[in-house]
Amino acid sequence: MNWRNIRTVFRKELIDALRDRRTLISTIVIPTLMFPVLTIGFGTLVGKSLQKVQQERAVVMLLDSGNAPALAEIIRKANGVKLVPAADDYVSQINDKRIRAAIEFPADFEERLKNADNKGLTVKIYHYAGEVRSQAAVQTLQKILREYSDQIVAVRFSEHGLSREIIKPFDSKEENVAAPKRVGGNMIGGLFPYLIIFLCFMGAANPAIDQTAGEKERGTIETLLASAAGRIEVVVGKFLMVFTVSVVTATVSLTSFAATFSLPFLAAKHFSKDGPIPFDISVTGIIAVFFMVLPLAVMFAASLLALGMFARTSKEAHSYIQPLLFIVIMPAMAALLPGFELNAKLAMVPILNVSLVSKEVLTGNYPWGLIALVFGSSCVYGAAALKVTVTTFKRESVLFRS
């Protein structure tokens, strides 16, 4: 191979990529904005929506309120509750979201409370499971019931000359013993590899299609093959270009992710009155993840080039890549699921192994034997994919497929 020719092809493809707005958007803009938008923007939107729901008055129906007149009066006067007349169709009204909850009192509720006859005494709250406003209404009602129950307990203790401390003989206190980097790694360890793998794949997709199926459509593939560069030199130059874009996307993603997750916690540490927050992101772990993703980027770049070269048009190439995206996403999501732990067998599964080992190193755990196995197997898969790409590029029936 003539590396001068490879550099020429690489430079030519790099210049073309920098002129392509789609490549710049998928390589720089999306990875840079994705994490801030997902974490800060979406988080703020969700917070405001929940705050709005909590500020709304919950529409509630009281059933058999005559069984508990005192408690019913407390609910009527409670902030955040709006009562509607009792009706037999309360179930359909809850399902239709005309009311958010209905509360039913058992017979002789208050009489039984006075006589300390608590056996089987249950107040039922009917609600719509999974509906946000209905769950907010349940929380409001549960708070009222707890406060009313505490008042009854206090009265009973007072009548018998007892202290409330008798039902709480000791306190419990939680104390974190994990290092801040382990806490931070455990919080982001599942999400981080998934997003990096996904963006690494998507960053390589557009340039791979443009340099293969795109050149077929533009009619420039014949001109390139007629140059002084050999077939292998052309495909290596193209591969290095796609690989570079994929790595740049991963690097930008890593930087954006680290900055997005670090800044809010740094500010919280500075202004927190309860002491420092036990959260930190391991720089060593981030660097380790970067190196673990490199062989994966090789496999992505080579595989996408082969698929793009096999396609007749860019549209056809996109139709090939869409199902491949699902094949990439599914194992990448494994780190998000409980119960998946890295072992020797899973260390041989492509994509899944990188996702799991990245989760380990982000939490400060470095199983060197498994790390070497993951890195080695990923390199083998990347080399195999590159071999397939070179073989595909040598076939006239594929290059000039029509």
Q: What is the pTM of this model?
A: 0.70
In this structure, which amino acid lies at residue 306? A
CATH fold of 54-167:
abc type-2 transporter like fold (3.40.1710)
The mean pLDDT value for 318-328 works out to: 89
Q: Which two tokens stand for residue 284?
A: 């060593």
**Tens of pLDDT along 115-127?**
877 777 889 999 9
Q: Which of 203, 187, 186 is nearest to 243 (CA)?
A: 203
Given the structure tokens 């006075």, which residue do they identify? 114
Q: Which two tokens stand for residue 257?
A: 């992710």
**Tens of pLDDT along 133-185?**
899 899 999 999 999 998 888 888 888 787 777 777 778 888 877 777 777 77
* Angle subtended at Cα 392 by Cα 395 and Cα 387, rounded to the nearest 5 degrees: 135
pLDDT value of position 34: 74
Strands 124-127 and 81-84: unpaired
* Angle subtended at Cα 282 by Cα 342 and Cα 187, rounded to the nearest 5 degrees: 60
CB neighbour burial string for 148-160, b if at least 16 within 10 angstroms, e if fewer? beeeeeeeeeeee
Please report which confidence band the pLDDT of residue 266 belongs to, taking 50, 70 and 90 as the band edges.
Answer: low
**Tens of pLDDT along 333-385?**
877 777 778 899 999 999 999 988 988 888 888 899 999 999 999 999 999 99
Cα–Cα distance measured from residue 246 to residue 207, given in angstroms and rounded to the nearest whole number: 9
Cα–Cα distance measured from residue 376 to residue 347, given in angstroms and rounded to the nearest whole number: 10
Q: Which of 269, 250, 267 is nearest to 192 (CA)?
A: 250
The string of DSSP letters for 138-189 reads: HHHHHHHHHHHHHHHHHHHHHHTT--GGGG----------S-HHHHHHHHHT
pLDDT above 90: percentage of residues in the chain: 29
Q: Which two tokens stand for residue 110?
A: 């208050």
pLDDT value of position 163: 77
Q: Which two tokens stand for residue 185?
A: 């790694």
| Domain range annotation of the chain | 3-37+180-399, 54-167
Is 293 strand, coil or helix? helix
Q: Which of 85-89, 380-384, 393-397 has the lowest mean pLDDT?
A: 393-397
Cα–Cα distance measured from residue 205 to residue 198, given in angstroms and rounded to the nearest whole number: 11
In sequence order, the 6+-apart residues with CB closer than 8 A to the CB of 209 are 304, 308, 311, 314, 317, 318, 321
Cα distances (angstroms) measured from residue 45 to each of 40, 42, 50, 52: 8, 5, 9, 11
In sequence order, the 6+-apart residues with CB closer than 8 A to the CB of 107 are 64, 67
pLDDT above 70: percentage of residues in the chain: 92
pLDDT above 60: residue 270: no
pLDDT above 70: residue 263: no
* Angle subtended at Cα 33 by Cα 41 and Cα 270, rounded to the nearest 5 degrees: 60
Please report which confidence band the pLDDT of residue 101 belongs to, taking 50, 70 and 90 as the band edges.
Answer: very high
